Amino acid sequence: MYTVPDQTGKTVVVTGANSGTGEEAARRLAAAGAHVVMAVRTLAKGERARDGILARDPRASLEVRRIDLADLASVKEFADGILADGRLDLLVNNAGVMAPPSRMATADGFELQFGSNFLGPFALTVRLLPLLLAAPAPRVVTMSSGTASYGSIAFDDLQWERRRYSANRSYAQSKLADLMFARHLAVLARERGWNLLSAAAHPGFTRTNLQSAGASLGRDRPKRSLLNSLPFLPSQGVEQGAEPLLFAATDPDAAAGAYYGPGGRFDLVGPTAPARIPRQALDDASAARLWMEAERLTGVSLPALADPRGAARPPHTADGLPSGIADPSGIANPGVQA
């Protein structure tokens, strides 16, 4: 089992911390000495998870706060509360929804998976960046998925309003967007001289309620997702499945712009290793375009953030890349394979 380095004195936000990899990450970060804000949509579930962690480790420093990533007003309210606290060292974008049976919408009218899995975490991250950048060694870690490998970003129909809705392809798009977001944030941090590490992770095939919760939305009876109808696939528990996320969040050897996941059979189980980054996620112009689209859709953007070197925010060029980035592909990235 991966040993989380000492986190004493650090304040951490973990979204989706009431169950699965989020709960496990919160437990182990708190056990390592961090104060963990468990960001959850349903307070009662978050409080039960907190009480369960405290029963195992009474010294854990935990608090539960509400956030609904499918509601940008809720994201702002949560972020404002964290900003008022005055300290944040690590943001773990873990929460998500997977494969609802039909197209559903967020409070702001976005397709549910794209809105909850990508636009909500994007808005949260950008709102919290000023506070993160004040920390000594801040990190943002975003949970992607192996499904990103067959995802594509349909800029002409991000919300699945024109095409026939596909729950699995929509999920893959949202998780590819998460990976591109994590990598582009690393590009921006490097360009602007921010002491911020942004990385991504995926859990492989980890047994959590994610596979059934989304697929059961709008149904009278619980239903399991397509992945769970393939019993021959290897799977693992949350203790192992949370480790790529924890490695990216805490390990001294984690690299900016990198992607981590299980390194065992089919890349679905096993100890943490650099993960293969899909070709689509290596398209830096598309990542910059996606970032600008997310700013437009959420109304949350970077201009108020100062560059520590005193430079103004670089404008975007015609091809969508921030000007001044000569070689975005030069991010330290052990995840790329030939």
Q: Where are the alpha helices (DSSP H) in the chain?
A: 20-31, 43-56, 72-85, 112-114, 120-132, 167-192, 210-213, 238-241, 243-250, 284-298
Rounded Cα–Cα distance for residues 168 and 221 (Å):
20
Closest Cα partner for 13 from 106, 72, 83? 83
CA nearest 144: which of 104, 179, 102?
179
Is 150 considered catalytic here?
Answer: no
Instruction: Name 312's Cβ contacts closer than 8 Å, sequence gap at least 6.
Output: none
CA–CA separation, 12 and 91 (whole Å): 6
Q: If DSSP codes are grouped into helix, strand and coil, which group holds residue 204?
A: coil
Question: How far is Cα 263 from Cα 265, in angstroms, rounded to an integer?
Answer: 7
Selecting among 2, 150, 165, 171, the annotated active-site residue is: 171
Residue 312: count of CB within 10 angstroms of its CB: 8
- Are the C-beta atoms of 147 and 172 separated by less than 8 Å? yes
Name the DSSP class of 329: G
Q: Is 210 left (phi over 0), alpha (psi -120 to 50) or beta?
A: alpha
Q: Which residues are catalytic?
A: 171
